[in-house]
Amino acid sequence: MQTVHDPALLLARFQFAFTVGVHIIFPAFSIGLAAYLAVLEGLWLRTGRPVFLDLYRYWIKVFSIVFGMGVVSGLVMSYEFGTNWSVFSRKAGPITGVLLSYEVMTAFFLEAGFLGVMLFGMNRVGRGLHFAATCCVSVGTLISMTWILSSNSWMQTPRGYTIDPATGRFMPADWLAIIFNPSFPFRLVHMGLAAFLSVAFIVGATGAWHMLKARRRGQVASEPVRVMFSMAMWMAAIVAPIQIMAGDAHGLNTLKYQPAKIAAMEGDWVSEDHAPELLFGIPNMKTEHTDYAVRLPLAGSLILTHSVNGRVPGMKDFPRDQRPPSYVIFFTFRIMVALGMLMVAVGLWSLWLRHRGKLYETPLFHRVALCMAPAGFLALLCGWITTEVGRQPWTVYGLLRTSDSVAPNALSSMAVSMTAFVVVYVLVFGSGIGMLVRLLGHTPHTGEHGTSPDHAPDILAARSHPAVVDPTHGEGA
């Protein structure tokens, strides 16, 4: 339909990438934070220790803001498939649209239905029911992730379809094969762990900040601060190494089903055994060469095939018009891996300090943990760019080209809307992130608000809303 360098197509792609890139942060944050809140409330109910309720109250304020931003940025996505990729949605809608509908019905309503109770209902329903609401919201975020990654994975490794010769539409033939397509389990695990890790490093950095602040003032950090820091560092120590293994498994899966993506990620041009790993380089798509390459002998084969003799693909194995832009994903992939290694290192360091009993008394470590605040989200974004740009030039891998998927929008409309999206997103989500940072700057106190756990007030309502829903006028109105 349109050529690859058509400006309207490029704008459609950039607009989609920008809006989904902003969006992806918030659901990932919600997935990790909802699970953390469920753990905190569960621990509070089980142990009765007020510190867990303090932490719950502290983080639920963050959650309400993050979740709200996820909802509004996600609403955009559910219509943008049609506004920007109408040909794709007409052809693949019978499959991807149905998966998205399942996400709405099994996840979004569950989250929305119990969010109100979770945020405002602590003194309207019993403790058990409130905990159930928190768990429902958390499970909802996980179900949501499952469906959307199934849909995304189907675009990467399509299965269980036939193609209608008359219309070119994808017709579902086997729904189980569609949902559990070959890359789905690997992508699900990798993304889920990424969400948990991202939040762990945000929580850890918040704890570290407040410990550094207390130290400057010659005080001892409060119990909630120490508990959140400790919990976050346990997550880093346990989950970061698991994530490396999950990423490795995902890589093997990609090598099997999308070898061109692997070749572009590695900047390899010629298929070879005993392949080196490129630590650095600048892939040049025109000269078919990776300039300034720094090679680590045999490591490429070892990493990708778990054998020094293994054969790794090169981009020259594939026609020029089927190669993903290596000059993007070569770097995003390396940034992601480097951040992953850093996270593992922080986790190991925390174990060592914990063993020595110095976890709360090492300001250098706290400064490092503070700097690592965005590490999880940066790695997540880099990984997402790697897998999505690595899918190019296809929307449905090997079957439907991106240039044949785009909607017939005028370049002028696309330019105007792109500007509007950037202005609004920077203003709204920039302000939102600023407010989050300010909120996290407030130190969590022991027994916040001076209320006993038995009479926990409406968490947000009591703190910030001057007026609250009054149950006494309820009947007969």
Q: Map the footprint of another protein across residues 84-113, applying CB under 8 A.
A: 86-87, 89-91, 93-106, 108-113
- 42, 50, 82, 325: which one contacts another protein (CB under 8 A)? 82
In whole angstroms, what is the distance from residue 302 CA to residue 277 CA?
Answer: 9
One-letter amino acid of 408: P
Residue 95 C-beta: closest distance to another protein, Å: 7
Residues 55-74 close enough to bind another protein by CB under 8 A: 64-65, 67-69, 71-74
Beta-sheet strands, E only, within 173-288: 277-284
Question: Which of the residues 122 through 141 are near another protein (CB under 8 A)?
Answer: 124-125
Cα–Cα nearest to 41, from 159, 153, 127, 157: 127
Instruction: Verify binding: residue 426, another protein, rule CB under 8 A.
Output: no
User: Which span sits near another protein by CB under 8 A: 79-87, 198-206, 319-327, 363-371?
Assistant: 79-87
Between 279 and 426, CB nearer to another protein: 426
What residues contact residue 349 under an 8 Å CB cut-off, 6+ apart?
365, 368
* Binding piece for another protein, criterion CB under 8 A, among 184-192, 195-203, 311-319, 428-436: 428-436
Does residue 452 bind another protein (CB under 8 A)?
Answer: no
CB neighbour class for 112 (10 Å; exposed up to 12, middle 13-18, buried from 19)? middle
**b/e per residue 5-26 (b: at least 16 CB within 10 A):** eeebbebbbebbeebbebbbbb
Classify residue 171 by burial, with Cβ atoms within 10 Å: 0-12, 13-18, 19+: exposed
Residues 20 to 59 in contact with another protein, rule: CB under 8 A: none
What contacts 1, CB < 8 A, 6 or more positions away?
87, 403, 404, 406
| CB nearer to another protein: pick between 145 and 227 | 145
The answer to whether residue 76 forms part of the interface with another protein (CB under 8 A) is: yes
Q: Which 354-393 residues touch another protein, going by CB under 8 A? A: none
Residue among 373 and 406 whose Cβ is closer to another protein: 406
Residue list 238-257, contact with another protein (CB under 8 A): none
d(CA 452, CA 445) in angstroms, rounded, equals 14
- The residue among 279 and 469 lying less far from another protein, judged by its C-beta, is 469
Binding mask 188-207 for another protein (x = CB under 8 A): --------------------
With beta carbons less than 8 A apart as the criterion, state whether 66 and 26 touch. yes
Q: Which is nearer to another protein, 74 or 281 (CB)?
A: 74
Half-sphere exposure of residue 302, counting CA atoms within 13 Å on the CB side?
8
Residue 185 binding another protein, by CB under 8 A: no
